[in-house]
Amino acid sequence: MPPFNPSSTPIREAPRPKIRRVYKTVVVQERAIDERAEHGEGMAFWVLLDGKPTLTPLRSPLGTKHRALAEALAAEWDAQNPSIDPDTMPLTRLVSTAIDCVVPQRAALISELMNYTDADMLCYRASYPADLKARQQAVWQPVLDWLDATLGIALQASEGIVPHRQTAATVAALKAAIASLDDARLTALQGAAAITSSLALSLAIVHGRVDAAEAFAAASLDESYQLEKWGADEMAEARRRLIERDLLAIGNYLRLLKLP
């Protein structure tokens, strides 16, 4: 099971051979957290295939402290028939990414995410046409206003595509907000940022300021405007569907994290 890779940044790969389902039963069991997993303390819920722990790509047990999320993971595995298709298992990929990538490389991941600071999509506005400019202001500015009022992150927007740097205080506040997230939500933030090219929008998703559908509308605003003006393109529509699917998966993942 490869780590969660948002479809907006596709990696061209040779087709993977199909792996047939050989397990018969899928159950969730509460067990002590294996020290190798290193993603919590106390008890967690593990997905078992024929009584054996399901493993991540780096061979750690697949589990979570959230029962509802574990049951959703089990449902993904139980739905695989006759072959296992990772593209239909977004929750498994997100949890595997948290265990294998986010936990052991947390500091490096946060540093990488900070590269979005001066390139946040919501900070680069059109100077024309007037209707696109107005639409960006109406949809994107409230997210930036919320970010400032709630987390003290005062991202400044400008017109055009010439790069501009945010202030040192803004950078510090942004890094603190990201660092305050637990590993599960940092995983969601990383996935959303890769899709949307916006830390502002990704933080809004993680904190519940916008839902997945609203995030998709905001992230695809410019593209939607072009489609309205010039008509649909088959490849563009296919890409939009994949982006929407991945954002909805992240939204579902965050919803499950709020449940016991």
Co-location of 92 and 173 in the same domain: no
Average pLDDT over residues 132-148: 97
| Region of poorest pLDDT, from 40-44, 50-54, 154-158, 206-210 | 40-44
Structure confidence by residue, pLDDT tens digits, 101-129: 999 999 999 999 999 999 999 999 999 89
Residue where a domain stops, chosen among 52, 70, 102? 102
Q: Which residues of 238-251 are buried (b: 16+ CB within 10 A; e: fewer)?
A: ebbebbbbbbbbbb
Q: What's 24's domain CATH number?
A: 3.30.2180.10
Residue where a domain stops, chosen among 47, 75, 102? 102
Residue 13 lies in a domain: no
CA angle 213, 217, 220 (to 5 degrees): 130
Residue 127 lies in a domain: yes
Co-location of 118 and 201 in the same domain: yes
Residue 14 lies in a domain: no
Domain count, the chain: 2
Residue 11 lies in a domain: no
> In sequence order, what are the beta bridge partners of 211?
none
Max mean pLDDT range (18-27, 170-179, 232-241): 170-179
pLDDT bin (cut points 50, 70, 90) of residue 227 is confident
- Quote the CA–CA distance of 259 and 54 in Å, as a whole number: 22
- Quote the CA–CA distance of 1 and 87 in Å, as a whole number: 9
Co-location of 133 and 238 in the same domain: yes
Co-location of 58 and 129 in the same domain: no
Residue where a domain stops, chosen among 85, 102, 119? 102
* Signed CA dihedral, 85, 87, 91, 92: sign only: positive
Co-location of 116 and 208 in the same domain: yes
Residue 39 lies in a domain: yes
Q: What's 150's domain CATH number?
A: 1.10.3580.10
Co-location of 82 and 119 in the same domain: no
Which pair of structure tokens corresponds to residue 225? Answer: 């405007």
Domain extent at residue 139: 106-257
Q: Give the HSE-up count for residue 232: Cα atoms under 13 Å, Cβ half-sphere.
A: 6
Which pair of structure tokens corresponds to residue 11? Answer: 């990696």
Co-location of 31 and 73 in the same domain: yes
Contacting residues for 15 by C-beta, under 8 A, at least 6 apart? none
Residue 1 lies in a domain: no
pLDDT bin (cut points 50, 70, 90) of residue 11 is very low
Co-location of 89 and 110 in the same domain: no
Co-location of 122 and 242 in the same domain: yes
Residue 246 lies in a domain: yes
Co-location of 82 and 128 in the same domain: no
Structure confidence by residue, pLDDT tens digits, 152-202: 999 999 998 788 899 999 999 999 999 999 999 999 999 999 999 999 999
Co-location of 247 and 134 in the same domain: yes
pLDDT value for 118: 95
Q: Is the pLDDT of residue 40 over 70?
A: no
Residue 197 lies in a domain: yes
8-state DSSP, 99: I
Co-location of 129 and 253 in the same domain: yes
